[in-house]
Structure 1
Amino acid sequence: MLSSLGKYLRTLRIQRNELLKDMAEKLTLAPAYLSSIENGKRTPTKKLIDTIIRVYEIDEKEKENIEEAYMLSVEEMHIDMKDANDEQRSLGVAFARKFNNLSEDQINKIKKALGEGDC
């Protein structure tokens, strides 16, 4: 099953008239590894996403799209709290604690408050 990132990469390849082996070569990856990323069997590193952006000269709008596809494909996320104040830290901890038990209504309210989605 293709992941969001897999769909993005496959579309990018097709738009550039490249075979999987061509893209793998440009990114200095084994074709089997790239195929496993496209098929949602492996999750790439953020470093690989940055390499794709650089090698394919992805513009700002497309950069947002590939980063969104990457974020939808990962199983874990890290929140940088280096510069966060106590309120922000408290919110991050509360969100992480409750994340897996949020109802659809709660999710929609949070997305609306953040200005995300079609809510």
Structure 2
Amino acid sequence: MSTQLGKELKKLRIDLGVTLMGLSEMVNLSPAFLSAIETGRKRVPENFLDTLASKIPAVAMQRQKFEALINQARSEVRLPLDEARFEDAELATALARRFSTLSDEQKKMLRNIIGE
């Protein structure tokens, strides 16, 4: 499952003729972390666009487009539920719907439960 940002990063890699490993070395991130950004499993780091634009002229020339894609990616979290039990998928969906209304104390309790 890829995000719009992920699709553009993959296209960029193909256009540059570099692998995920090659791009990860260019931006000083692990391939696993970069892959997680592409699929929406990890949040895009704050300096990511600056790093990309400084290393890749094509990104610098399309900075506004990449900035919009990064902002979109930061506003979403993707959670693959295709193999989850129905009840677990319902729980994840309910949490997503109600997340913005949880108090700091409730969020703290959730962090304690999941060990974050």
Q: TM-score range by the shorter chain?
A: 0.5 to 0.7
For residue 37 of structure 1, what is the aligned residue in structure 2?
37
1:55 and 2:51 aligned: no
Extract unaligned runs of 5+ from structure 1.
77-99, 101-119
Once the two structures are superposed, what CA deviation does each residue of 1:16-38 show, in whole Å capped at 9, x if it has no partner?
A: 01100000011111110001111
- Across the two proteins, how many residue pairs are aligned to each other? 76
C-alpha displacement at 1:59, in angstroms?
3.7
Structure 1 stretches of 4+ with a deviation exceeding 2 A read: none
For residue 18 of structure 1, what is the aligned residue in structure 2?
18
The answer (yes or no) to whether the contact 2:54–2:60 under 8 Å persists in 1 is: no
For residue 95 of structure 2, what is the aligned residue in structure 1?
none
For residue 84 of structure 1, what is the aligned residue in structure 2?
none
Residue correspondence of structure 1 range 1-119 to structure 2 within 5 A: 1-57=1-57, 58-60=59-61, 62-75=62-75
Indicate the SS of the match to 1:44.
Answer: coil
TM-score (norm 1): 0.58
Range moving further from structure 2, 22-31 or 50-59: 50-59
The one-letter code of the counterpart of 1:51 is T
Equivalent-residue separation in structure 2 for 1:25 and 1:17 (angstroms): 14
C-alpha displacement at 1:4, in angstroms?
1.6
TM-score (norm 2): 0.60
Equivalent-residue separation in structure 1 for 2:46 and 2:63 (angstroms): 12
**Two-structure CA RMSD over aligned residues (Å):** 1.8
Identity of aligned residues (%): 29
Extract unaligned runs of 5+ from structure 2.
77-99, 101-116
